[in-house]
Amino acid sequence: MKKDKRRHSRKLLRIEARYQDSGGRVLKGTVRNVSLGGVFIETQNPLEINDTLHVSLDAHDLGKVIDVSGRVVRIERGKGMAIEFDDKDNRDIRLLLSTIRKLDQASLLALSRSALGE
């Protein structure tokens, strides 16, 4: 079994991400998961390993766009790329993760009440 090397737990979500390639073209992808350490972006246009980039995440639930910078640490051909954030203590990413946790807890509570017939 392959050992998970991640330092931060991931949260699943689907939000739009915009980034630029080295030629200045604005590209789009979909965030598959996010953690304090980074993000995986589903895209048909991944950059190269170690390329640095700025990413804008459309966090509609927070009513804002989160801008982060990082570097490409992994590419999955046909799927996307993993980005490691430069700032591992980004306040907006912490807020996004907190919001996701609260939504997860509210969903579980509603599901539990439904199962109990409340």
Q: How many CA atoms lie within 13 A of 57 on its CB side?
A: 28
Close Cβ partners of 16 (under 8 Å, ≥ 6 residues apart): 28, 29, 30, 31, 57, 58
Q: What are phi and psi of 2, to 5 degrees?
A: -75, 130
Mean pLDDT of 94-113: 70
- The hierarchical CATH code for the domain 11-115 is 2.40.10.220
Task: Give per-residue pLDDT as tens, 8-40.
Answer: 454 456 789 999 988 889 999 999 888 889 999
Delimit the domains of the chain by residue range.
11-115
Q: Residue 26: what pLDDT?
A: 95
Tell me if residue 24 falls in helix, strand or coil.
coil
